[in-house]
A and B are shown apart, each in its own frame.
Chain A
Amino acid sequence: QQQVKQSPQSLIVQKGGISIINCAYENTAFDYFPWYQQFPGKGPALLIAIRPDVSEKKEGRFTISFNKSAKQFSLHIMDSQPGDSATYFCAASASGTYKYIFGTGTRLKVLA
């Protein structure tokens, strides 16, 4: 019940295309869902996050869609660029615990 399932494991997208990464969770106590971007040899960097009171959040080319009833959330990268090539992790946490549960990661490659 503590797992966060992430898919796909890897993704190849043409420059200018839309990259979509999906995550699903089971623990209904989770109320914070961030996405992290990690480049090789670097620590993860917070990209965008959402709470269950909204169904969508957009920041620049990055959008989180959240479906509370389905217990799923996804990251959309619009107009994908080669510089977006990285590993993306979704995560979930519950208020009061602050222990983040991470997805398994998606390696995104954007072709020039």
Chain B
Amino acid sequence: GAVVSQHPSWVICKSGTSVKIECRSLDFQATTMFWYRQFPKQSLMLMATSNEGSKATYEQGVEKDKFLINHASLTLSTLTVTSAHPEDSSFYICSALGTTGELFFGEGSRLTVL
């Protein structure tokens, strides 16, 4: 299957700082990427759809000013958690849409805000 790389795999930051998470499709070009948030023992919650060269589409209830998404190239999308607070601590997972419609996930990024 296609490879999606996510970095960093874990990050600890102080409250009030911003954190950037990168998602790269390594062996294919992804026009569309998705960002999810997953709480312990729960399913994946779609946060936003990221389309290359255009603004991201956010799901209802997701603060677009808090979670900035940029998809500047066909292989890279970034999620920036701005002014992070402890309630933003979570497991963030990106995914990229393959050329045949399959969805491939990154390894996830564990964010802990102190």
What is A's interface to B at a CB cutoff of 8 Å?
32, 34, 36, 41-46, 49, 89, 91, 93, 95, 98-100, 102-105, 107
Against A, the Cβ 8 Å flags (1 = close, 0 = not) of B81-111 are 0000000000101010100011111111010
Docked-complex contact B108 and A46, CB < 8 angstroms: no
Given A34-B103, A43-B93; 6 other pairs, CB 8 A cutoff: A34-B102, A41-B91, A49-B102, A89-B43, A89-B44, A107-B41
B108 touching A45, Cβ below 8 Å: no
Which residues of chain A come closer than 8 Å to B42, judged between CB atoms? 104-105
Whether B19 sits at the interface, judged by CB under 8 Å, is no
B34 surroundings in chain A (CB, below 8 A): 99-100
Contact surface of B with A, Cβ cutoff 8 Å: 1, 4, 6, 32, 34, 41-44, 46, 49, 91, 93, 95, 97, 101-108, 110
CB-CB under 8 A from A41, the residues of chain B are 91, 108, 110
Known: A41-B108, A98-B97, A99-B49. A46 touches B43 (CB 8 A): no
Give the Cβ gap from A97 to chain B, nearest Cβ, in Å. 10
Question: In whole angstroms, what is the CA distance A100 to B34 when docked?
Answer: 10
- In this complex, what residue of A is CB-closest to B107? A43
Using known A-B contacts A41-B110, A98-B101, determine if residue A46 contacts B49 with beta carbons closer than 8 Å. Answer: no
In the bound complex, how far is the Cα of B41 from the Cα of A107, in angstroms? Answer: 9
